[in-house]
Chains A and B, each alone.
Chain A
Amino acid sequence: MNLNNLPNLVIWKSDENFSSLEFEGNVEQLCGFSEDQLINDPTLWVNIIHPDDRDYMLNALNLLKEGHQHSVDVNFRILRRAKAVRNILGSICRISHNGVTGFQGYYVDISSRNQDRELETHKKSLLNLLSDSIAKSFNLEKNRLDRVNEVLGSLGKITSADRVYIFDKKSGDNSRPILSQNYEWSRDGIESQMSNDVVFDVDLKELVPRWYSNLVENKSYLSGIVRHFPEEEREVLQPQDIVSILVTPIWYGNEFFGFIGFDDCSEERVWNDEESKLLTVFGSLMIASWIFEDSLATVERQLNEVKKLQSEREQFLKMISHQFKTPLSVIRLNTELLSQFSKKLSTGDLSFVQKKITRIESSIRKFEDLIEAILVGNSSQIVDITPEPINVNDWFKEFVAQKTRDFNEIKELRLNQNVTNAEKVKLSFSLKTLDYIMDTLFSNAVKYRGEKGAIIDLKYEINEGESLDIMIMDHGIGIREDELPKIATPFYRANDVINISGTGIGLSMVKDSLGAVGGSFVIESEYDEYTTVNISIPIEEIANDN
């Protein structure tokens, strides 16, 4: 075996005083001195051992000399010329041959293994930093400048760069981007370039065409030692004391955003490919945070605009509705005047005119209801969350009696309840709100009765003292499956009911009112069969007083 093919391994043999040395392997590569130099100077081998490790080595040899051990494993450092430290692992044993005693051993240079370990550590910390920086980039509670500066600082520390900065696109497109340096971190003692004119309004293609080609056309990073760069680049970089540089492009989708630059102002450093690629990915992630932030701001702005528009529309509707009331008063009063005057008419004419007047009056009432509906369109006006006590049975008894009086259309109204007689509960909103909700649901049940006539089931119960649960079920026209989810949205009206008067506000108001007190609203329906509305109103208190 030719040991010269194993550049890190040397086998050696010596007498007890190291005056006769023999080597196999490339000793010069291992320790920086030739075989001849080592043989001619018996003290040289001691001198190249790292001063801190010399005692350790002498102890190892003493162990062998005194016969305590036959062999020892050693791990020590040697200092080559130019102070380069090498880590050596080896083994030494005591030999005795033809009456001559001495030592024999082998040494392996394991420095590169340590380098790998260091590189691993570096990679790990780089990854840690990157994940930490991404988290920082997305911490939108801080403003962008602070966030970016913090992240650039971290990048600078982990990469040991002297400056880290971002050039972002000010104008132009991918074919002619104009960039400016808007963010920069620089190490203490390194001059910032933020006031240098050269970093602003950079026409990348014009100023450094090679960079444009790398960063934009190839979507790739660019790095190197400035001394080797083309003259026109050196003219820009060297006045900024840049010795070596890495620039990583920032892309978002198909849009070139700019680049992140890493300057080294003292060392001719070579950036490795892996690191450069990682930093390239990082740049795009950071930009993603900006875009995310901008999108959020846009959405918020648009939402506010919509809210404003909606509120303006509500105000307008309200204003118009109020304006309706004056002409409505005129119609109503004049109808009353007509009605009074008509009493002077002959019997035949009187009945004709009275019929017309009755028709006008009922239309006025409908009109007034519509205006009221518009005016209560804003739920905050109808939901009065002042808790009010009611005697549930009394209330429903009165409700049923009143509805039976009001609606001639009712064919059958079945009441089913399971509440002890004197039970009094305090609902989490006012009676006015309960009236509103029940009126709306009941009049819907009547309104959408269909040809079969209004058959309505009404059921209520107190659910474990927690809520008053009410069910109103009609056996009317029902709601189509695809329209059911939309039925309680404001101003929505199902397609089948365009010929039935209504505003589309009722159910949405009911839902909002219940939502305001933590109640629930569930609507179920089978088209052409039935519609059931189940509501649950939280109870504040329950009291049984007789």
Chain B
Amino acid sequence: MTTNKNGKLLLVEDDFELRETLEEIFFLYDIPFDVAKSASEAKKQVSNSDAPYSLVLSDYLMPGESGLDFFMYLKELEIYREIPFFILSARTEDEVREKCRNAGVTDFIKKPFEMQTLVDLIKQYV
């Protein structure tokens, strides 16, 4: 399965500064990636991509559809069934976490997070 993936990370984040910062970090650590500003933009990226992404990092609360909505969309696609999907979120209340866990999201990354922690995590997949 892994051989079929495109080896890239897909970042879905609506906040401009955080997106730019994460992009810089990915450059710095040679992590191949694409970015989307919203769930709907991410869907387009997914359908335009020849092979499935190796990893998705998505914000939870975004204008329009949420990170969880995007995850639910991906889950329906055969090739994304096993995708590692991490939610970046400031909302760490039990109920939000529970909802995402039940849906099958891989894990939560709690904002604010440390750079090294994030990079280590990504390196496991990309």
- Please say whether chains A and B are actual partners in one complex: yes
B113 surroundings in chain A (CB, below 8 A): 329, 332
B77 contacts A by Cβ under 8 Å: no
A308 contacts B by Cβ under 8 Å: no
A340 surroundings in chain B (CB, below 8 A): 28
Complex formed: what's the CA distance from A326 to B114 in Å? 13
Q: Which of A337, A368, A381 contacts B112 (CB 8 A)?
A: A368
Mask for B46-66, Cβ within 8 A of A = 1, else 0? 000000000000000100000
B1 surroundings in chain A (CB, below 8 A): none
State the Cβ distance, A25 to closest chain B Cβ, in Å: 99
Query: A334 and B21: CB pair below 8 A?
Result: yes
Q: For residue B20, which residue of chain A has the nearest CB?
A: A330
Query: B90 and A333: CB pair below 8 A?
Result: no
Query: B24 and A329: CB pair below 8 A?
Result: no
B-contacting residues, A306-362, CB 8 Å: 322-334, 336-337, 340
Q: For residue B59, which residue of chain A has the nearest CB?
A: A326
Q: Which of A323, A331, A333 contacts B115 (CB 8 A)?
A: A333
Complex formed: what's the CA distance from A154 to B114 in Å? 78
Mask for B1-38, Cβ within 8 A of A = 1, else 0? 00000000000000101100110110010000000000
Query: A330 and B15: CB pair below 8 A?
Result: yes
Closest 6 A-B residue pairs measured CB to CB? A325-B90, A329-B112, A325-B111, A322-B90, A336-B115, A330-B17
B-contacting residues, A463-496, CB 8 Å: none
State the Cβ distance, B47 to closest chain A Cβ, in Å: 28
B15 surroundings in chain A (CB, below 8 A): 326-327, 330
State the Cβ distance, B92 to closest chain A Cβ, in Å: 9
Listed A/B pairs (10) with beta-carbon separation below 8 Å: A322-B91, A324-B90, A325-B111, A326-B111, A327-B15, A327-B18, A332-B112, A333-B112, A336-B114, A381-B93
Sample of 20 more A-B contacts, CB < 8 Å, known A328-B112, A336-B114, A336-B116: A323-B90, A324-B90, A325-B90, A325-B111, A325-B112, A326-B111, A327-B17, A328-B111, A329-B18, A329-B21, A329-B112, A332-B114, A332-B115, A333-B18, A333-B25, A333-B115, A337-B24, A337-B28, A340-B28, A368-B112
State the Cβ distance, A61 to closest chain B Cβ, in Å: 101
B112 surroundings in chain A (CB, below 8 A): 325, 328-329, 331-333, 364, 368
Q: For residue A318, which residue of chain B has the nearest CB?
A: B93
Q: For residue A340, which residue of chain B has the nearest CB?
A: B28
Classify chain A: how many residues form its interface, as a range: 10 to 19
B-contacting residues, A354-389, CB 8 Å: 364, 368, 381
Query: B115 and A326: CB pair below 8 A?
Result: no
State the Cβ distance, A366 to closest chain B Cβ, in Å: 13
Complex formed: what's the CA distance from A142 to B14 in Å? 57
Complex formed: what's the CA distance from A94 to B2 in Å? 138
State the Cβ distance, A542 to closest chain B Cβ, in Å: 31
Q: For residue A336, which residue of chain B has the nearest CB?
A: B115
B22 surroundings in chain A (CB, below 8 A): 333
Complex formed: what's the CA distance from A350 to B22 in Å? 24
Complex formed: what's the CA distance from A329 to B89 in Å? 10
Query: B18 and A326: CB pair below 8 A?
Result: yes
Complex formed: what's the CA distance from A80 to B59 in Å? 105
State the Cβ distance, B98 to closest chain A Cβ, in Å: 14
State the Cβ distance, B75 to closest chain A Cβ, in Å: 25
State the Cβ distance, A191 to closest chain B Cβ, in Å: 64
Q: Which of A324, A326, A328, A329 has the most CB of B within 10 A?
A: A329
Q: Which of B28, B91, B111, B116 contacts A329 (CB 8 A)?
A: B111
Complex formed: what's the CA distance from A364 to B115 in Å? 14
A327 surroundings in chain B (CB, below 8 A): 15, 17-18
Complex formed: what's the CA distance from A21 to B62 in Å? 119
Q: For residue A323, which residue of chain B has the nearest CB?
A: B90
Complex formed: what's the CA distance from A325 to B89 in Å? 9
Complex formed: what's the CA distance from A336 to B22 in Å? 12
B90 surroundings in chain A (CB, below 8 A): 322-326
Complex formed: what's the CA distance from A95 to B111 in Å? 122
Query: A333 and B111: CB pair below 8 A?
Result: no
Complex formed: what's the CA distance from A215 to B93 in Å? 65
Q: Which of A324, A325, A337 contacts B21 (CB 8 A)?
A: A337
State the Cβ distance, B93 to closest chain A Cβ, in Å: 8
State the Cβ distance, A301 to closest chain B Cβ, in Å: 30
Complex formed: what's the CA distance from A342 to B121 in Å? 24
Mask for B93-125, Cβ within 8 A of A = 1, else 0? 100000000000000000111111000000000
